[in-house]
Structure 1
Amino acid sequence: MTSSILVGLDLGTLTTKTMLALSKSDKDTTYELVRTSHGHHDCPTSISFGGCHRPRMLGEDSLERGDENTVGMLDRLLVDSLGGADGGGDDDDVGDQDPFQKFQRFTYDREKDSVCIPNMADDGQGNNEYSSTALLAMLLGRIKRNVLATVHRLEGTNEDGDEGMTSRLKFVFAVPPNYSTATRQALMDAAYAVSISNSMVVDSTLALGKVLEQRKFSGEVCGSGGRKVMVVEMGHARTNISLLRFGGGEGDDEGDAQEEKKNKEPNDKVLGSDKITVLANVNSSQLGAGTIDICLYHHFLATHPAFSNVSFETNSRSAQRLLEGCKKLKHLLSMLSEGSVTVESIGKNESDVTLSANRELLVQLCDGLVTKVLKSMIQRCIEKAGGMQVLNDIATVELTGGGCRIPLVQDTVRDCLGKKGDETFSFSKSLDDTSLALGAAMMMTAPSSCVEDALMEVSPERQARREALLHNEMLMSKRDEELVKKDEIRNQIEAHILELRSARHSSVHSSLLPTSDEFTNFLDGTDDWLFSAECDDATFDEMMKKWVEVKSKSEELCADFLEAKRLEAERKDREMEEEAKQAAAERDAEAMLNGDDGNDADDHDTRKLPTKRRMEIVMKNKAEANELFGDGNYKHACARYAKALSHCNKFFDLSPDDEVEVKEVKLSLHVNMALSFIKLEKLDNAFQSCNEALAIDPKNVKALYRRATVQHSRRKFDDALNDLKQAEELAPDDKAVKKLRRLVDHEILKQKKKEQAMAKKMFG
């Protein structure tokens, strides 16, 4: 019988952390932090929609986008739509004025629990609406793929068994103790929508307690009264204060027994061999590290001279940039007593603005919304646990979450505990940012764990909603897969045509290419089709049919060239194999002479080579990059272009003619690398490459066009228009420039109509 694969999930406001638990036996469990496809330790809790012709960008792929097609903070959206928490006297009901989500740009209808995404209908013009549970299911689908990739790596299996592997997965969500029943059910429904039929919800307080039990108290005798621990957890938009007791039992003192009886529902949890009792718990969904960002935001908006005559809505791109700048300044002030950051294109006439602050100012700004609220929460938690005398029994104070790294927060906790200025007092560091996800997975490895949510009966109405979610997510996933495959074929066609065009001028076999009008018309016609509505609307089968036609026509027109190219590739492969063998033999011989093991094989090429030899190395790397690009291997193509550029910086004593040649080569490398980054949807990198190219030649049409493409993807349509106008002046007949200009003009017109409608509504 195959064992279950437990997946602990900490669904955070900004990022989600995932921990895998693989059990080889009852006493042998391996825990592994799940990395994203980009290699990161956490997955952004957001998704982006690129329109009806583009696949969804989930988790880590949505990180660079921030427009109305990007939905972030999915955890708050879920809680907001389903009524938040089950009371308890804490400020857990976010209400209509969520201080964090008002900076998001997407449109959300709370009454309908619906997020409106523009341009997602089949015609490319209409809008689609998605519930908060459906959006969360999309994110969980990406997380599931990351989990399966991790399992395959650990178990040495391949993707062929994904369906059977999925049936072994059990998702365990760690959530605040007072999450409502509806919210807990929605989490499990979202998991069901991605074919995870077995999922559970556990209290985050107990998940942290489980980690503490193993890391801090596993080898200790806690005594009849147990060991009391205060846990302060502050994330980006939520704070939780808990008092836990480890150990103890029938011999507990009368006060603790009364508190346990009073808080019976959340307390009676027995995990492993020791009892973990929640003596008190206080939550807030209005306080987090992001609250400090908002305090800084309002301060600079009200006092900075650059904003004296500037106004923008909180959900505008300018507000997002200012808030992000405040977040960076907060991080800086967590390490230094004062600091400053620069926010680009946010002041008058899109000027850059420098934000400066020190810790004293931060304390003043956060006194009301952060310090007083946090003090009140700690005091309420202490009162719930039995009053101030409980402080004498606290064995340790644990801090966890990004917010608890901020000195202001740490000083507030010290003050509440009467430890201000006490140099002998220090916080414990047994918990880290992965502890919630780890604790969720650990709780379900203990046979005695009891989680009520797993035993809930599913009503027929809820099951019908689950099946609808599952059906819709399967359709969306199938659509994404087809669009990805379609894009791959389109890229192959584009790379093939680009190679044939460039071969006319750069290939040693250019003389074998036809010079007829038929060949020119074939290249131009294929280019026109790639930028046509027919291409956008084509299915995968139609795109594949077009690729077969293009290859067939190429074989017909360029048979001699393609055969020569194939033979040259085979020759290069043989040469590379021989060079590799020779290099290995030389390394072995050198190692024998030097008496070492030959492991120090790093290439630090500082040789002063002749210009011709260095240029050969540059062009070899460029040629390899072009081949990698043609095969769709964009990531490694970028690496080769970068390698070629690094060699361009090693020329010395260049003649004027040589300098011109090197500049032309560098220009070509930057332009090609920009296209590779665009294919990878690394917009910031592509933008930088375009800027590097334009620094060499401000009138390069390809660089202007590709930078406009980046700005269009970023929805900076005015900036894209400026580049396109320059490109049109330089190349008035360029079809790609014309098509992108039409798209940008259309988006600008839509924006103007939207602004006019809003103005009419406001001042009507």
Structure 2
Amino acid sequence: MDVTGGEGWDAGAGEGTEGPGLPLVSAAPAPAPAPMEAEAAEEPPAAPAPRCGWMTPEALEEARQVEAKMQAADEEVAQLNEKLNALESFILEMRQAPSSRHGAGINAEQLTSTLDAGENWMMEVTEETTTADVAKRFTELETEVREICKDYFQALEEEKRSTERELEEEAKRGAAEREAEGEDGRAEKDTRRLPKADRMRKVVKHKETGTELFKGKNYMHAAKHYKDALTHCSKFFDLSPEDDQEVRQIRLALHLNLAQCWVKLDNFDQVLKHANEALAIDAKHPKALFRRAMVYEKKKEYDLAKKDLILAQEHPVGEKDANIATLMKRINILIKKEKDKEKKMWGKAFG
């Protein structure tokens, strides 16, 4: 039998199959393919939820809530620290009250014991301490201190009222003087090119007036006259090298006097400003360094205060100055307390 394509299967013939010794058999017709069921129409995929970068809206909202909680916690900590700083400043200020002008009648031993109790309470502050706790303790301490220092606070109030009356009287006198002179007397409006001697008379007049007012505890008007003297100092134009040095020394004295006025008026930003102006003229002037160290103490920048005091004590005048020595002693105590406080806080954190 002849089978096209040789032995085996002829895929192309489609007529039949022959094996050795077998008759040719007609191939059965291929079954018809089963009808395909109609496929269900696929729904389009849902649009993805909008994202913020790599975050889903849910994750973003959760992150916002976490951030809000963190901000609230930070604000609470800031308020707590502010209250603690105010309490600490009050304790520091009242420790100096017995040695102040009106502190002679204070029971120093009782006051020290009360302040120590307040300071010890601060040392026991923990993470559970709230702003309300500190405010309550501050109010209690202030009430106790005011009772101990009743005469002291009364004297301060009387001095304040007296100063206000003096300022009003001085303002009236100044207005009368300006009216009599036919000018407002303000140094900044004097644009004349006066000879050195005439301008110096104005400088000296304002400086001496300021000193008289300062002695009378009229610190605000004293500061005004010292400032006017400085303004006149800036209007010299015909100075020799010797004259220039003379004016520099006058300016130095005026800035120191202004710093002292602002100490009396409790404006320590102005104290710092004029102490720096004085130090720009003489970088090692002990009184200017002392004034700036006072400001640093108020700002709790004890290391800067100590640096200025060390420099002040290197000067022959500063070396013998009792005020500088007293402030240095106080600064050293405060630095030690700060270190002890930090050590105790870290001990609690890791204990």
TM norm structure 2: 0.57
Q: CA deviation at 1:126?
A: 3.1
**Which position in structure 1 is the counterpart of 2:339?**
752
* Partner SS state of residue 726, structure 1: helix
CA 1:652–1:682 in structure 2 vs 1: closer, same or farther (change >3 Å)?
same
Matched ranges for 1:727-746 at <5 A: 727-730=312-315, 731-746=318-333
- Do the aligned residues in 2 keep the contact of 1:674 with 1:706 (CA within 8 Å)? yes
- Do the aligned residues in 2 keep the contact of 1:678 with 1:710 (CA within 8 Å)? no
* Partner SS state of residue 194, structure 2: coil
Matched ranges for 1:117-128 at <5 A: 118=91, 122-123=111-112, 124-127=115-118
Matched ranges for 1:547-566 at <5 A: none
CA 1:486–1:754 in structure 2 vs 1: closer, same or farther (change >3 Å)?
farther
Q: CA deviation at 1:107?
A: 6.3
- Do the aligned residues in 1 keep the contact of 2:259 with 2:275 (CA within 8 Å)? yes
Q: 2:224 & 2:303 partners in 1: Cα distance? A: 31
Q: CA deviation at 1:671?
A: 0.6
- Do the aligned residues in 1 keep the contact of 2:83 with 2:134 (CA within 8 Å)? no
Answer yes or no: is 1:761 the counterpart of 2:348.
yes
Matched ranges for 1:501-580 at <5 A: none
Q: Deviations over 1:634-663 (max 9, x none)?
A: 122211111111111000021011001000
Q: CA deviation at 1:475?
A: 4.2
CA 1:646–1:680 in structure 2 vs 1: closer, same or farther (change >3 Å)?
same
Q: 1:734 & 1:633 partners in 2: Cα distance? A: 26
Q: 1:700 & 1:659 partners in 2: Cα distance? A: 19
Q: Which has the higher contact order (CA 8 A, sep 6+)?
A: 1
Aligned residues: 239
Answer yes or no: is 1:625 the counterpart of 2:210.
yes
- Do the aligned residues in 2 keep the contact of 1:674 with 1:687 (CA within 8 Å)? yes
**Which position in structure 2 is the counterpart of 1:722?**
307
Q: Deviations over 1:435-464 (max 9, x none)?
A: xxxxxxxxxxxxxxxxxxxxxxxxxxxxxx
Q: Deviations over 1:192-246 (max 9, x none)?
A: xxxxxxxxxxxxxxxxxxxxxxxxxxxxxxxxxxxxxxxxxxxxxxxxxxxxxxx
Answer yes or no: is 1:647 the counterpart of 2:232.
yes
CA 1:473–1:132 in structure 2 vs 1: closer, same or farther (change >3 Å)?
farther
Q: CA deviation at 1:125?
A: 3.1
Q: Deviations over 1:544-602 (max 9, x none)?
A: xxxxxxxxxxxxxxxxxxxxxxxxxxxxxxxx999767535xx8xxxxxxxxxxxx997
**Which position in structure 2 is the counterpart of 1:595?**
none
CA 1:632–1:101 in structure 2 vs 1: closer, same or farther (change >3 Å)?
farther
Q: Deviations over 1:134-190 (max 9, x none)?
A: 959x99xxxxxxxxxxxxxxxxxxxxxxxxxxxxxxxxxxxxxxxxxxxxxxxxxxx
Q: 2:185 & 2:322 partners in 1: Cα distance? A: 48
Q: 2:185 & 2:314 partners in 1: Cα distance? A: 51
Q: 1:480 & 1:746 partners in 2: Cα distance? A: 25
Q: CA deviation at 1:482?
A: 3.0
Q: Deviations over 1:698-753 (max 9, x none)?
A: 11111011111111111110000000000111121111110000000000010111
Q: 1:702 & 1:106 partners in 2: Cα distance? A: 31
- Do the aligned residues in 2 keep the contact of 1:118 with 1:126 (CA within 8 Å)? no
Question: Which protein has the bigger strand share?
Answer: 1
Give the 4+ runs in structure 1 shifted more than 6 A.
128-131, 471-474, 576-579, 600-603
**Which position in structure 1 is the counterpart of 2:154?**
482
Answer yes or no: is 1:705 the counterpart of 2:274.
no
CA 1:486–1:725 in structure 2 vs 1: closer, same or farther (change >3 Å)?
farther
**Ranges in structure 1 where 5+ consecutive residues have no aligned partner:** 1-93, 109-114, 140-467, 492-575, 588-599
**Which position in structure 2 is the counterpart of 1:668?**
253
Q: 1:103 aligns with which of 78, 83, 105?
A: 78
* Partner SS state of residue 314, structure 2: helix
Q: CA deviation at 1:759?
A: 2.1
Q: CA deviation at 1:481?
A: 2.6
Please tell me the residue identity of whatever aligns with 1:741: M
Q: 2:256 & 2:159 partners in 1: Cα distance? A: 21
- Do the aligned residues in 2 keep the contact of 1:671 with 1:693 (CA within 8 Å)? yes
Q: 2:181 aligns with which of 578, 583, 596?
A: 583
**Which position in structure 1 is the counterpart of 2:104?**
none
Q: 2:193 & 2:151 partners in 1: Cα distance? A: 53
Q: 2:197 aligns with which of 600, 612, 619?
A: 612
Q: CA deviation at 1:98?
A: 3.6
- Do the aligned residues in 1 keep the contact of 2:272 with 2:292 (CA within 8 Å)? yes
Which structure has the bigger radius of gyration?
2
CA 1:725–1:715 in structure 2 vs 1: closer, same or farther (change >3 Å)?
same
CA 1:662–1:95 in structure 2 vs 1: closer, same or farther (change >3 Å)?
closer
Q: 1:96 & 1:583 partners in 2: Cα distance? A: 61
- Do the aligned residues in 1 keep the contact of 2:309 with 2:324 (CA within 8 Å)? yes
Coordinate RMSD, CA, aligned: 4.3
Q: 1:696 aligns with which of 281, 297, 302?
A: 281
Question: Which protein has the bigger helix share?
Answer: 2
Q: CA deviation at 1:101?
A: 2.6
Please tell me the residue identity of whatever aligns with 1:654: L
**Which position in structure 2 is the counterpart of 1:523?**
none
Q: Deviations over 1:470-521 (max 9, x none)?
A: x879848946633626988xx9xxxxxxxxxxxxxxxxxxxxxxxxxxxxxx
Q: CA deviation at 1:133?
A: 10
Matched ranges for 1:271-350 at <5 A: none
Please tell me the residue identity of whatever aligns with 1:665: I
CA 1:687–1:135 in structure 2 vs 1: closer, same or farther (change >3 Å)?
same
Q: CA deviation at 1:678?
A: 1.3
Q: Deviations over 1:326-381 (max 9, x none)?
A: xxxxxxxxxxxxxxxxxxxxxxxxxxxxxxxxxxxxxxxxxxxxxxxxxxxxxxxx
Q: 1:670 & 1:601 partners in 2: Cα distance? A: 21
Q: 1:677 & 1:126 partners in 2: Cα distance? A: 32
Q: 1:487 & 1:675 partners in 2: Cα distance? A: 17
* Partner SS state of residue 619, structure 1: helix
Please tell me the residue identity of whatever aligns with 2:311: Q
Q: 1:741 & 1:664 partners in 2: Cα distance? A: 27
Please tell me the residue identity of whatever aligns with 1:703: A
CA 1:632–1:655 in structure 2 vs 1: closer, same or farther (change >3 Å)?
same
* Partner SS state of residue 226, structure 2: helix
Q: 1:745 & 1:134 partners in 2: Cα distance? A: 26
Please tell me the residue identity of whatever aligns with 1:482: Q
- Do the aligned residues in 1 keep the contact of 2:203 with 2:232 (CA within 8 Å)? yes
Please tell me the residue identity of whatever aligns with 1:122: L
TM norm structure 1: 0.28
CA 1:756–1:486 in structure 2 vs 1: closer, same or farther (change >3 Å)?
farther
Q: 1:487 & 1:715 partners in 2: Cα distance? A: 27
CA 1:748–1:487 in structure 2 vs 1: closer, same or farther (change >3 Å)?
farther
Please tell me the residue identity of whatever aligns with 1:126: A
Q: 1:583 & 1:686 partners in 2: Cα distance? A: 33
Please tell me the residue identity of whatever aligns with 1:639: K
Answer yes or no: is 1:635 the counterpart of 2:220.
yes
* Partner SS state of residue 99, structure 1: helix
Q: 1:733 & 1:698 partners in 2: Cα distance? A: 19
The share of aligned pairs that are identical, in percent, is 33
